[in-house]
Amino acid sequence: MSEFPIVDAAEAEAIQYVKGQKEFYQHLAIYLLVTPVFALLWGADQRFFGTAVGWGIGVVVHALQAFEWVRFNVEGWEKRQVEKRLGRPLS
């Protein structure tokens, strides 16, 4: 059950946008909290830098998607995939 009553499609889209931003900020916070722990455990070695850079790239891609600077979702892709899985059109 959603915490927001949905009145129309524009409101639903705005709610989804804000949820995406919230998920990004949670991801960023975890990255900022965990990365220093890795630095303390591993020191400045290749394992730390590989993890920090790789995860950092993931955080940047998440930001691009959350703030819609780059759209990764092709319009209707999810619906087409569900219909393909069901073998019939959605009503």
Kindly report, residue by residue over 26-83, the tens digit of the pLDDT: 999 999 999 999 999 999 899 999 999 999 999 999 999 999 888 766 667 777 888 8
Amino acid at 49: F
- Looking at the 3D structure of the chain, how many domains does it have? 1
What confidence category does residue 9 fall into, taking pLDDT thresholds of 50, 70 and 90? confident
| Cα angle 62, 17, 12; round to 5 | 150
Which one is predicted more confidently, 63 or 6?
63
- Per-residue pLDDT for 23 more than 70? yes
Query: So what's the pLDDT on residue 49?
Result: 95
- Judge whether 43 lies within some domain: yes
- Judge whether 35 lies within some domain: yes
- Judge whether 2 lies within some domain: no
Contact in structure between 27 and 59 (CB atoms under 8 Å): yes
- Judge whether 1 lies within some domain: no
- Judge whether 91 lies within some domain: no
- Judge whether 29 lies within some domain: yes
Query: Which range of residues forms the domain containing residue 62?
Result: 9-86
- Per-residue pLDDT for 25 more than 60? yes
- Judge whether 77 lies within some domain: yes
